[in-house]
């Protein structure tokens, strides 16, 4: 049954995203809908802002203001539970008919974290397999598996240039 769960985008009043998410979590708990509505997310990112007095401040900012992303099995009961939360204006889709996100969209949004195993480490030579520098060879300088990032030093025009890549955009040189 859990295989049927898909990610849907719910439109809310701007500024009500967290309120809608918490009310939906309470509704799921009260009505025992954990099997139908499995995850509720308000996508955010950490941003450094510079205040008027010149200080740097870490701020959490919503990536999609006015939207909440819900992983659920679409039934009349789950649709009704989500649709009738105060502050929710409906699902994203034609004439409010819910349309699930595709696998590509889910991956691009980074909603579900996939574990990527890499067979290279810092100091190894790697071949870039995707992006504008495809086919270039560089040396791994730094890896950040939590952020799915790797920094590779690539020699271009006689100069070493650092390049930020996703972990799956590089493979070890044989």
pLDDT digits (tens, 9 = 90+) for 80-136: 999 999 999 989 888 767 888 888 888 777 676 666 677 888 999 999 988 888 999
Residue 90, Ramachandran bin (φ over 0: left; ψ between -120 and 50: alpha; else beta): left
The whole-number pLDDT of residue 144 equals 85
CA-CA distance, 68 to 55, in Å (whole number)? 31
Which CATH number characterizes residue 66's domain?
A: 3.30.70.940
Q: Which domain holds residue 147?
A: 125-172
CA-CA distance, 125 to 140, in Å (whole number)? 6
CA-CA distance, 73 to 80, in Å (whole number)? 12
Question: Are residues 145 and 101 both part of a single domain?
Answer: no
Give 3-state DSSP helix, strand, coil % of the chain, rounded to 5: 25, 40, 40
CB 126 within 8 A of CB 140: yes
- Whether the predicted model's global pTM rises above the 0.95 cut: no
Give residue-wise pLDDT tens across range 3-41: 588 999 999 998 999 999 999 999 999 999 988 999 999
Question: Are residues 71 and 155 both part of a single domain?
Answer: no
CA-CA distance, 26 to 20, in Å (whole number)? 10
CA-CA distance, 119 to 78, in Å (whole number)? 42
The whole-number pLDDT of residue 10 equals 92
Question: Are residues 102 and 26 both part of a single domain?
Answer: yes
CA angle 24/36/3 to nearest 5° reads 135
Question: Are residues 162 and 91 both part of a single domain?
Answer: no
Q: Which residues pair with 152 in a beta bridge?
A: 140, 163
CA-CA distance, 126 to 105, in Å (whole number)? 28
Residue 114 resides in a domain: no
């Amino acid at each position: 049954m859990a295989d049927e769960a898909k990610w849907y985008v719910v439109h809310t009043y701007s500024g009500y995203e967290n309120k809608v998410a918490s009310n939906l979590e309470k509704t799921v708990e009260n009505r025992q809908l954990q099997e139908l509505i499995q995850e509720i997310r308000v996508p955010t990112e950490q941003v450094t802002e510079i205040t008027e007095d010149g200080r740097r401040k870490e701020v959490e900012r919503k990536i999609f203001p006015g939207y909440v992303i819900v992983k659920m099995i679409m039934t009349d009961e789950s649709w009704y539970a989500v649709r009738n939360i105060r502050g929710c204006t409906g699902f994203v889709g034609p004439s409010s008919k819910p349309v699930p996100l595709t696998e590509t969209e889910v991956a691009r949004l980074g909603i579900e974290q996939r574990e990527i195993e890499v067979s290279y480490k810092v100091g190894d030579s790697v071949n870039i397999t995707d992006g504008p520098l495809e086919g270039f060879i560089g040396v791994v300088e730094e890896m950040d598996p939590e952020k799915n990032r790797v920094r590779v030093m690539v020699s271009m025009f006689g100069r070493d240039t650092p390049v930020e890549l996703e972990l799956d955009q590089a493979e070890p040189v044989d």
